[in-house]
Each structure stands twice: as structure tokens, then as C-alpha cells.
């Protein structure tokens, strides 16, 4: 275990993971738009209850950042997580347009933040979990592979292909929501498996995951 001075980071990171699941359900209930969303996940941030969406995405992204400071690993994992965290704040503060057109500058800024967050956060968690013991490491790899497949379907839906037999727009919403769930699962795996990452003791991190 890490020393008592950093243990609160573990508790806070795990609390963020739990809060992410609770708020994910809550934003759907408040918006009366259950999964998969009618237009996109970002629509939960439109309107007077949009602050719930902002709180949800910020807490969800805070979890892996806190956990990475609790058990640091070498390589770019921390910088990817911090980049994704900054992008999450951007999409939390700058809301998208109501409806599916998203043509305003505001909506485009929101989309940029969302895309960066959805790429950097899962990749950062995947790299961090390569230093974890089994089963967390292979589980993270499976989730990352699923994220790549779903991300590809999002791109295909974005160019107008009906990838889910629901129409291109509905397919986009389905796959975007699915990718968000995969990211939440990665946060959960990270929160559960972070203690299997060996703590830094002599200024160096082990190059292989403990078994």
C-alpha cells in the first residue's frame, strides 16, 4: 500500500468512479431520455439541468487522474489523462446546441473537447493499466479494443452511414453512448485494479506488471 499521505487520492478516485455511474443514470432520468440518447450524450447538458451533465463528466474524468497520481506509472499515461481532463472541462463548460445540427462555434468547441476527452482518457487508462496485475491488464485491453471498434462505428455514422439499422443520426447517438459506457467501465477497472500497480519506492517504477 501507498503511504498514508497519498491514500486519500485512492478514496477520492474510487468515489469519483461510483459517482460517475450514479450521475449517468440521473442525467438520463432528469432529461427523460434513457440510453441510448435520442440525439447525443451532449444533449443532456442542454437546458436548466445541464449542470448535472457537467458534474457527471468532470467527476468521471477526475477519477483516473486522481488514481494516476496515487500510483504513478512511466510513459505518457499521466499527460494523456491530464489532456483528457482539460478537454472534459471544456466540453462541460461550453455546451452544445439544442438539437442535432450543432453548427454554431459553441457547439463545435464542445465537440472538439468531447472528441479529445473520448480519445485521451481511455488511452491514458489503458497505458496505466498495463502496469497492473491480472485480471485488470487483459480486461483493460479488451475494453480498449471494444472502444476502437465503437469509435470506428461513430466515424462511419458521422459520414452518413447507417451502422446500426436505426438511421445515421440514431446510430451516432447509440455508438457515442456505448463508447461513454466503455470509458466508464475502464474507470471502474482502473479504480479496482490500481492497488495492483506497484508503488514507487526508490524513484523508479517497475517495468513489468506484478503478477
Residue 41 has pLDDT above 70, yes or no: yes
Contact, 140 vs 129, CB < 8 A? yes
Count, in order, helices (H) and strands (E) of the chain.
6, 0
55-69, 76-90, 112-126: least confidently modelled range: 112-126
- Greater model confidence, 121 or 101: 121
> 210 pLDDT exceeds 80?
no
Whether residue 41 contacts residue 177, with contact meaning beta carbons closer than 8 Å, is answered with yes
pLDDT band at 162 (very low <50, low <70, confident <90, very high): confident
- What per-residue confidence (pLDDT) applies to 131? 95
pTM for the structure as a whole? 0.88
Q: Give residue for cell 480519445.
A: 119
Q: Please state which of the ranges 17-26, 114-123, 169-178, 187-196 shows the lowest mean pLDDT.
A: 169-178
- Looking at residue 42, the DSSP 8-state letter turns out to be G
| Whether residue 3 has pLDDT greater than 90 | no
Name the grid cell of 77: 499515461
Instruction: Concatenate the DSSP letters of all residues of 134-168 into one string.
Output: TTHHHHHHHHHHHHHHHHHHHHHHHTT--SSSS-H
What pLDDT score was predicted for residue 211? 46
Q: Pick from 97, 196, 99: which is nearest to 138 by CA?
A: 196
Confidence category of residue 137, pLDDT binned at 50, 70, 90:
very high
CA nearest to 121, candidates 81, 82, 175, 165: 81
Which residue's C-alpha cell is 498514508?
A: 4
How far apart CA 154 and CA 143 sit, in angstroms, is 16
The dihedral built from the CA positions of residue 137, 140, 146 and 149, taken in this order, carries a sign that is: negative
pLDDT band, very low/low/confident/very high, at 202 (cuts 50, 70, 90): very low
Cis geometry, peptide bond prior to residue 36 (ω within 30 degrees of 0): yes
Contact call for residues 160 and 182 (beta carbons, < 8 A): no
- Mean pLDDT confidence for 125-153: 93
Using the predicted structure, report yes or no on whether residue 69 has a pLDDT greater than 80.
Answer: yes
Amino acid at each position: 500500500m501507498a503511504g498514508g499521505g497519498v491514500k486519500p487520492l485512492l478514496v477520492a478516485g474510487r468515489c469519483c468512479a461510483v459517482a460517475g455511474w450514479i450521475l449517468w443514470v440521473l442525467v438520463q432520468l432528469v432529461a427523460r431520455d434513457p440510453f441510448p440518447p435520442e440525439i447525443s450524450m451532449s444533449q443532456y447538458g442542454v437546458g436548466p439541468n445541464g449542470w448535472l451533465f457537467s458534474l457527471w463528466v468532470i467527476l468521471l474524468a477526475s477519477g483516473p487522474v486522481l488514481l494516476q497520481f496515487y500510483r504513478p506509472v512511466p510513459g505518457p499515461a499521466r499527460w494523456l489523462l491530464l489532456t483528457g481532463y482539460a478537454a472534459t472541462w471544456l466540453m462541460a463548460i461550453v455546451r452544445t446546441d439544442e438539437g442535432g445540427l450543432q453548427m454554431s462555434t459553441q457547439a463545435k468547441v464542445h465537440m472538439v473537447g468531447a472528441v479529445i476527452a473520448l480519445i485521451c482518457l481511455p488511452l491514458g487508462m489503458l497505458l496505466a493499466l498495463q502496469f497492473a496485475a491480472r485480471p485488470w491488464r487483459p480486461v483493460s485491453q479488451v475494453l480498449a479494443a471494444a472502444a476502437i471498434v465503437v469509435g470506428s462505428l461513430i466515424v462511419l455514422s458521422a459520414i452518413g452511414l447507417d451502422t446500426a439499422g436505426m438511421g445515421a443520426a440514431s446510430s451516432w447517438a447509440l455508438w457515442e453512448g456505448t463508447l461513454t459506457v466503455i470509458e466508464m467501465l475502464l474507470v471502474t477497472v482502473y479504480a479496482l485494479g490500481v492497488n495492483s500497480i506497484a508503488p514507487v519506492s526508490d524513484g523508479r517504477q517497475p517495468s513489468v506488471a506484478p503478477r
